[in-house]
Structure 1
């Protein structure tokens, strides 16, 4: 009851090699895990079967919607854990609920939901899933910094006629 596992020696597949994915890799390595950073051209099907933990850090696009679906969940180890702090629709929650309920996947941690703010009813009550209310950035300092990024971007576009430094294309 209420026992977890250590990260040391675990293989953590980090899907998304942007700033957040790279920082996640640095942090899991500090805990003794082996980070595997998967960018756009990675062979996810091959990598999923080797990972103890899969952590998602991709934007929501047509190509990433249901990136983790029933087929890909079946490629993962039954002992693996899926973490989604990216965007909800990156994971097919119905397929995830089936995998968790059947034991095909050991666990999941979700901070985002496919149909946010609603959570798939089949996930509620499962003991092998942790559901958080999309508050990973909920600190006063972080929210102030996020607001200042917006102010800086507006200033760049409206007053200086330049492209903001944090533009996503």
Structure 2
């Protein structure tokens, strides 16, 4: 597992647990931090005994599931083109996309983009999710219909969302998603550590050199 994939998994888990942090920080800065009269104020969702849904059980999806297993969810579900033998190592269950949406408390997107999954998360998909579900996307913005996501969040069809990727990037400052208290959006920094970025640059250079020499690429992109 290279630095980039490790960083991505940690980032997904961090967003998953911190969807209220922007509102909480704003409360501290602007004087909204009051007493403990409301014990449920800014409470998040517990990972322990929850159902985790991973859409795309590739390297990043598997690494994310591996780390989340330490938090003792009741089940880890995944969907994709086919069952993965290595998923048995963490007792992950292969299910249909629809079943994953219906049963998961946390839906984490780890897809690589192809023409078949552009706009995959649309109004129909969000309606199938639990009203208490948290939606996390650190893959690519184009797999989500952002207008439908906005409606799902404002109508209470899902609980919250964490996005490190959007369409377009940068996201325009007048985008309605930026007005919602139950969304955290970051500027595509899932791999933003010095070590991870250095490893990415090194891998890019190795791919270029291998291509020039006519050797197999260390990390080819399969289109």
Q: Does TM, normalized by the shorter one, top 0.5?
A: yes
Greater Cα shift, 78-87 or 149-158: 149-158
Greater Cα shift, 35-44 or 138-147: 35-44
Q: Is the 8 A contact 1:84 1:109 kept in 2?
A: yes
Q: Is the 8 A contact 2:131 2:156 kept in 1?
A: yes
Q: Is the 8 A contact 1:109 1:131 kept in 2?
A: yes
Task: Describe the SS at the equivalent of 2:176.
Answer: coil
User: Which of 4, 8, 15 matches 2:55?
Assistant: 15
Higher helix share: 2
Residues 13-162 of structure 1 mapped to structure 2, 5 A cutoff: 13-33=53-73, 34-41=75-82, 43-119=96-172, 121-159=175-213, 161-162=214-215
Q: CA deviation at 1:2?
A: 3.3
Q: Is the 8 A contact 1:25 1:36 kept in 2?
A: no
**Could you give the per-residue CA deviations for residues 91-119 of structure 1, whole angstroms, max 9, x where no partner exists?**
11000000000111100000000222125
Structure 1 stretches of at least 4 aligned residues deviating more than 3 Å after TM superposition:
none
Q: CA deviation at 1:6?
A: 2.2
CA distance in 1, matches of 2:131, 2:187: 26
Q: Is the 8 A contact 1:25 1:37 kept in 2?
A: no
Task: Describe the SS at the equivalent of 1:35.
Answer: strand
Task: Describe the SS at the equivalent of 1:54.
Answer: strand
Q: What's the TM-score, normalizing by structure 2?
A: 0.72
CA distance in 2, matches of 1:134, 1:35: 26
Aligned CA RMSD, in angstroms, stands at 1.4
Q: What's the TM-score, normalizing by structure 1?
A: 0.94
Structure 2: which 5+ residue stretches go unaligned?
1-40, 83-94
Task: Describe the SS at the equivalent of 2:42.
Answer: coil
Q: Is the 8 A contact 2:106 2:135 kept in 1?
A: yes
**Could you give the per-residue CA deviations for residues 24-66 of structure 1, whole angstroms, max 9, x where no partner exists?**
1101111112321222245211221000010001112111101
